[in-house]
Structures are given as structure tokens and as C-alpha cells.
Amino acid sequence: MNDSQMIPLINVVFLMLAFILITGNIEKSSEKSPDIQELAIPSSTSNLDQEPHDVTVTLNKSGSVYVDETATSMDDFADQFPLSASDIADAQVLIRADASVSAHTTREVLKKLRDLGLRRISLATVRAYSSD
């Protein structure tokens, strides 16, 4: 084949590529429902050490919730909390959530902690590598 016969083939391949790229993006964006929010996995580049905490809440990828090292359910979460009402005002809570835990579950835990009266809540992050 000479060069003049290759031009229509190149045009067809280019148009097919453009069509696939455009329809792929449309399909991907139409799959998301409007109530789902994008979530960036938390990372930190600061060199601050972790503050001491009184209670650790762990959310693992299978959906289990642990208060310190005791397994509990979302329904019994408030009942299993180890602090008394007088200690809650000054308590520091650390939430350790697996990256695959949904934002809905994390928000539910945060709401339950706020309902208990806790205000000093930290989210454990993975230290990001900086390019410095």
C-alpha cells in the first residue's frame, strides 16, 4: 500500500478511537448516582506526631467496628463506649478506617461520636511521601 491509500484507514482508526474515548467517559459518569460524593483517601505530609488519644475506633474493610479492641455493632456502639459521661467532654478519640470503608459508614460513626458529646475526634492518616 502506498501512502495515499493509508490516509482513509488512519482516519477511520482515529474516529473509532475518539468515539471509544468519548462514550467511555459518558458511560463512566452516568454510573454515579447524584448522592454519592467523591472521597479522597486521607494522607498527610506534616511531620506532626499523633496526639495521645483515650479511645480508638477501628473500622475494617469487612464492616466490623471495634472500640479499642472490643468488637461491637453500629447499634450497640454507644452502649459499648468505655468512657463515663464526665470523661467524654475532654476525651480524644482516634478513628482508624480502612481505605475501602465507605464514606457513609465513616460519617455514621462520626455522627454517633458527636451524639455522645465527643468533640475531639481525629482521623488517622497515612503519611504521604513528599517530593522534597
pLDDT of 12 reads 94
Give 91-105 as a DSSP string. Answer: -EEEEEE-TTS-HHH
Q: Tell me: domain 46-127, CATH 3.30.420, correct?
A: yes
Distance CA 9, CA 85 (A): 75
pLDDT tens-digit series, residues 31-66: 444 443 343 445 555 656 566 777 888 888 777 888
The pLDDT assigned to 44 comes to: 58
Q: What pLDDT was estimated at residue 13? A: 94
Domain boundaries, the chain: 1-31, 46-127
- Taking CA atoms, 33 is separated from 24, 99, 104, 131, in Å, by 17, 21, 14, 36
pLDDT along the chain (132 residues), means of 10: 84 92 62 41 58 79 80 78 71 82 85 85 67 52
